Amino acid sequence: MTMTLAFDVYGTLVDPMGMSRLLAEDAGDSAEAVAALWREKQLEFSFRKGLMKVYEDFGVCTRQALRYAMATHKLPLSEQRENELMAAYLSLPAFDDALPALKSLKGQYPLFAFSNGSYPALEKVLGHNNLLDQFEGLVSVDDIKSFKPDPAVYTYARRATGSWEKPLCLVSSNAWDVIGARSAGLLAVWVKRDPGKVFEDWGIEPSAVINSLSELPSIMKNL
């Protein structure tokens, strides 16, 4: 029975910290700190909106998080600059290992992109990096108006990828996403991009741990 692979996008295939280069114009030496806070709050805001049942798409969370990060660092943010940075977010750079890994897996497994992002945003950022054509389809939480790690989102991913009767494996660099998927009964591979990152001790373990997507084809045989 062929396993289906569902790839997280932000942080796994494309790098949100790529915004730090553009933010250098606004924040100078603090650009990386601003980019990191932007990403942190983007996720936090999505989690909170999911719990509160007041869904707004991921782009709204991203924009609100940008405003928060800039305000926290006491940096000006005009409407024009905000729109420029939001547009640039749709062209985040892919990690170097993303395209080669997807190409090596394509044809062996059904591949899907599975994200908190909306379909237009996913099409833009994946298309920008020549990743879009590697997937059989996209799965966005926008369809059910909630966010990962809501169990309903992972259940929806099973349905959307046609994986009710066969295994579905999430591939994600986000430990919270891996824990959410495992808790919902999926297999999940943690891409430990940061060697210093610690996996939260919740008594829920990843199905496998890799340091790069280049390792994925070889470890698939053992899942």
For residue range 127-158, list pLDDT tens digits in order. Answer: 999 999 999 999 999 999 999 999 999 999 99
Sheet with 187-191: list strands edge to edge. Answer: 137-140, 111-115, 4-7, 168-172, 187-191, 208-210
- Looking at residue 223, what is its pLDDT? 84
- Looking at residue 1, what is its pLDDT? 62
Q: Is 8 a catalytic residue?
A: yes
- Whole-number CA gyration radius for the chain: 17
Do residues 16 and 51 lie in contact, with contact meaning Cβ atoms separated by under 8 Å? Answer: no
Q: What's the rounded Cα separation, in Å, for the pair 9 and 3? A: 19
- Looking at residue 2, what is its pLDDT? 86
Q: Which two tokens stand for residue 146?
A: 């909630």
pTM of model > 0.85: yes
* More confident: 72 or 164: 72
Q: Which of 8, 57, 97, 150 is flagged as catalytic? A: 8
* pLDDT confidence band for 189 (50 / 70 / 90): very high
